[in-house]
Amino acid sequence: MRVGLDFDNTIAGYDAVFAGLAQERGLVGHALPKRALRETLRARGPAGEHAWTALQAAAYGPRMIEATPTDGCAEFLAECRNRGIALFIVSHKTRHAAADPCVDLHAAARAWMAANRIYDTVPPERVFFEATRQAKIERIASLGCSHFVDDLIEVFDHPLFPSAVDAILFDPHGEAETVARPVACRDWAAIGGRVLGR
């Protein structure tokens, strides 16, 4: 068994970070989950899209230290470690933020992983940042993942995503439509049940 995991919004949770940034900048009047915030801003046209990319640069860069591991993720990682299951992190993440080329997103993510002891279970050599979604999917295939957990259904819908991989959508807000593949799980307990058979 070789289990692949997405990073942003799967291992690292940003709802509070994005909500705080948006309110600090006067973009919304009340806290919204990340996905709802994104759609709200993008509905405002080019100015909203610009505001969204600026929020991403801050949340995934200098403010990333405020992100927290998603509920139950640490327990899932620990159980995989105890069972000797090989884990990999494969993330679609460019090195620099589009809205701020001075921000090193890889460095911010690696510092967060070290601070949150992710490397206790997934060593640095098993962490991969890919510049494009296709490169991410090709990496998943090359690693021979038996399972992959991601918060974006677009990853699983990509024509190159390997059909043999058990596709698991992390869907904590219950926003996904019911489909045969990927299987949507609301929390890490459900993911653990599917992957670990408990």
Q: Is residue 50 a contact partner of residue 35, using CB atoms and an 8 Å limit?
A: no
Q: What number is the average pLDDT over the span 140-164?
A: 96
Predicted local distance difference test score (pLDDT) of residue 112: 97
**CATH 3.40.50.1000 matches 2-13+68-196:** yes
Q: What number is the average pLDDT over the span 174-188?
A: 83
User: Could you report the per-residue pLDDT of 34-82, keeping only the tens digit for each?
Assistant: 888 999 999 999 999 999 999 999 999 999 999 999 999 999 999 999 9
pLDDT confidence bin for 198, thresholds 50/70/90: low
User: Could you report the per-residue pLDDT of 96-109, keeping only the tens digit for each?
Assistant: 988 788 889 999 99
Q: Is residue 97 a contact partner of residue 56, using CB atoms and an 8 Å limit?
A: yes
For residues 56, 60, 62 and 65, what is the CA-based torsion angle, rounded to 10 degrees?
A: 130
Predicted local distance difference test score (pLDDT) of residue 91: 98
Domain spans in the chain, listed from the N-terminal domain onward: 2-13+68-196, 15-65
Residues 97 and 120: their CA atoms lie apart, in Å, by 27
Predicted local distance difference test score (pLDDT) of residue 29: 86
Other beta carbons less than 10 A from residue 62's beta carbon = 14
Nearest CA to 171 among 45, 34, 67?
Answer: 34
Look at residue 137 and tell me whether its pLDDT is greater than 90. Answer: yes
Both structure tokens of 80:
């995989």
Q: Is residue 178 a contact partner of residue 197, using CB atoms and an 8 Å limit?
A: no
Q: What number is the average pLDDT over the span 174-182?
A: 76
For residue 127, give every residue at least 6 positions away whose Cβ sits within 8 Å of its Cβ, in sequence order, or none. 7, 88, 89, 91, 110, 113
Q: For residue 71, what are the CA distances in angstroms to 85, 126, 139?
A: 20, 22, 26
Predicted local distance difference test score (pLDDT) of residue 31: 83
Nearest CA to 5 among 73, 83, 97, 81?
Answer: 73
Look at residue 180 and tell me whether its pLDDT is greater than 70. Answer: no
